[in-house]
């Protein structure tokens, strides 16, 4: 349904701005009049396609750069939860929510959601039409909340889950930002040094027609190659990246890549803990919201981001259907630690599986954060050491011929 931006006057003559869904501009004006407003201007805007959550009509140039951030979805979810908990009806809560949202793209989506709910559709069904913004986890938890009559509680848990995940990502990005910045700056400095500074100095040695030391020959060769064929290095790097990405898209490549992520030294342990923390956090949140275990496992297998762990979750689902517990099949997986399996077993026996899963997630997230902090603290001295060795090699390569010339003069 098209979305229209309007400027209207209320009964007191105050100017109001907003958006409204209608089949036509005339229908939009009639809807505004029915709400007690007097439309001054009504114009159609780019509506958001319901099939994929993307613009499906004429899109303005400014609209191309408007994106809905995960943090905005979290804030919206939290506010909707508060409104529903206060006893505000869903349609009225969505209407009030739309008036507070600053992001025009999200504002239009909320207006469409409100209109769809007002027409009798469930909130979960409406949200599923925007998969770019609302994941399977989000939609299934909302569906469970609607079925159990605890939508406000479920939305609160969703907001908390999203905020925790964003905070974790934010800490990781902050920890990795400085080493990555140092790496690029150091690489640019070394590239400039080798391709522009070194040739001017080594030109003196080549003009002397004297046998040069091996380090100097290597330096001159590397400098000449990079100066003349730097574009080959860039193209080769881009080609390797594209080739690896295409290979990963194949079933065999995907399997090899996911296995390597779990077995590579140092990083393998971190990736494994990240996947298990995501598994435990998501499964615990879904179960707390009333989603059945098998349905929750089917959702979780798609968000662990690893085909090997996903296969173990599939096997667990099959054995649960056969009447076994969750801990038994997970205990045979090489990727689930014995401590995690024991905690899951205790949770099943005590009827507190959700609480145990959240404790597992807390533990793994804390371990991952500590490991990443330790790793990034070591990256800086390692990069400084590598840069020092490269610069030292350059200095030695330049000084060796000078020392030899000095010996010849004596």
pLDDT tens sequence across 173-195: 887 788 888 888 888 888 888 88
Cα dihedral sign, 361-303-71-121: negative
Q: How confident is the model at residue 52 (pLDDT cuts 50, 70, 90)?
A: very low
Tokens, residue 337: 């630690």
Burial of 110 (C-beta count, 10 Å sphere; 0-12/13-18/19+): buried
| Mean pLDDT of the region 244-266 | 90
| Mean pLDDT of the region 279-286 | 88
pLDDT of residue 35 exceeding 50: yes
Beta bridge partners of 17: 7
pLDDT of residue 238 exceeding 90: yes
| Mean pLDDT of the region 89-100 | 85
Residue (of 91, 96, 62, 66) closest to 79 by Cα position: 96
pLDDT of residue 360 exceeding 70: yes
Distance in Å from the first CA to the final CA of the chain: 91
What is residue 396's predicted lDDT score, i.e. its pLDDT?
87
CB 37 within 8 A of CB 9: yes
What is residue 357's predicted lDDT score, i.e. its pLDDT?
92
Residue 209: which region, alpha, beta or left (left: phi > 0; alpha: psi -120 to 50)?
left
pLDDT of residue 344 exceeding 90: yes
| Mean pLDDT of the region 286-300 | 86
Domain spans, the chain? 3-64, 70-162, 167-410
The strands making up 15-21's β-sheet, listed across from edge to edge, are 15-21, 3-9, 38-45
Of the options 1.10.1740, 3.10.20, 3.30.460, 3.10.450, the CATH number for the domain spanning 3-64: 3.10.20
Beta bridge partners of 216: none
Residue (of 63, 38, 61) closest to 49 by Cα position: 63
Please, which residues have CB within 8 angstroms of residue 399's CB and are 6 or more apart in sequence?
A: none
Tokens, residue 27: 């229908």
pLDDT of residue 393 exceeding 50: yes
Average pLDDT of the chain to the nearest whole number: 82
Burial of 194 (C-beta count, 10 Å sphere; 0-12/13-18/19+): buried
Q: What is the DSSP letter of 48?
A: B
What is residue 61's predicted lDDT score, i.e. its pLDDT?
40
* pTM summary value: 0.68
Name which CATH class applies to 167-410. mainly alpha
Helix (H, G, I), strand (E, B) or coil at 42: strand
Instruction: For the domain covering 70-162, report its CATH number.
Output: 1.20.81.30
pLDDT of residue 171 exceeding 60: yes
Tokens, residue 262: 């779990």
Q: For 145-154, what is each residue's pLDDT tens digit? A: 887 788 888 8
| Mean pLDDT of the region 19-33 | 75
| Mean pLDDT of the region 44-66 | 45
Q: How confident is the model at residue 64 (pLDDT cuts 50, 70, 90)?
A: very low
CB 63 within 8 A of CB 46: yes
């Amino acid at each position: 349904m098209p979305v229209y931006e309007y400027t209207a006057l209320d009964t007191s003559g105050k100017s109001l701005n907003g958006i409204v869904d209608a089949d036509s501009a005339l229908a939009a004006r009639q809807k505004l009049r029915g709400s007690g407003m007097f439309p001054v201007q009504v114009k159609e805007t780019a509506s958001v396609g319901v099939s994929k959550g993307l613009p499906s009509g004429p899109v303005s140039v400014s609209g191309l750069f408007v994106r809905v951030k995960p943090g905005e979805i979290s804030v919206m979810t939290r506010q909707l939860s508060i409104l529903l908990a206060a006893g505000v009806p869903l349609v009225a809560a969505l209407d009030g929510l739309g008036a507070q949202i600053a992001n025009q793209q999200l504002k239009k989506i909320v207006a469409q959601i409100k209109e769809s709910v007002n027409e009798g559709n469930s909130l979960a069904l409406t949200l599923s039409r925007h998969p770019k913004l609302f994941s399977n986890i989000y939609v299934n938890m909302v569906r469970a909340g609607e079925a159990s009559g605890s939508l406000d509680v479920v939305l609160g848990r969703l907001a908390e889950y999203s905020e925790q995940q964003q905070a974790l990502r934010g800490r990781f990005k902050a920890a990795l930002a400085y080493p990555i910045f140092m790496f690029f700056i150091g690489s640019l400095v070394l590239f400039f040094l080798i391709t522009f500074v070194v040739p001017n100095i080594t030109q003196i040695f080549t003009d002397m027609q004297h046998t040069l030391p091996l380090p100097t020959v290597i330096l001159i060769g590397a400098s000449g190659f990079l100066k003349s064929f730097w574009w080959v290095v860039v193209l080769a790097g881009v080609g390797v990246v594209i080739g690896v990405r295409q290979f990963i898209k194949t079933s065999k490549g995907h399997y090899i890549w996911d296995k390597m992520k779990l077995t590579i030294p140092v990083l393998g342990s971190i990736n494994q803990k990240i996947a298990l923390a995501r598994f435990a956090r998501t499964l615990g949140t879904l179960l707390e919201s009333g989603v059945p275990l098998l349905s929750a496992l089917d959702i979780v297998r798609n968000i662990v981001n690893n085909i090997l762990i996903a296969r173990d979750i599939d096997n667990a689902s099959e054995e649960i259907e056969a009447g076994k517990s969750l801990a038994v099949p997970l205990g045979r997986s090489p990727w689930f630690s014995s401590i995690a399996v024991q905690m899951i077993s205790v949770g099943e026996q005590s009827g507190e599986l959700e609480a145990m899963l959240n404790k597992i997630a807390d533990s793994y997230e804390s371990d991952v954060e500590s490991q990443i902090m330790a790793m990034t603290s070591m990256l800086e001295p390692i990069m400084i050491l590598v840069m020092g060795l490269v610069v030292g090699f350059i200095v030695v390569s330049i000084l060796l011929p000078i020392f030899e010339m000095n010996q010849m003069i004596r």
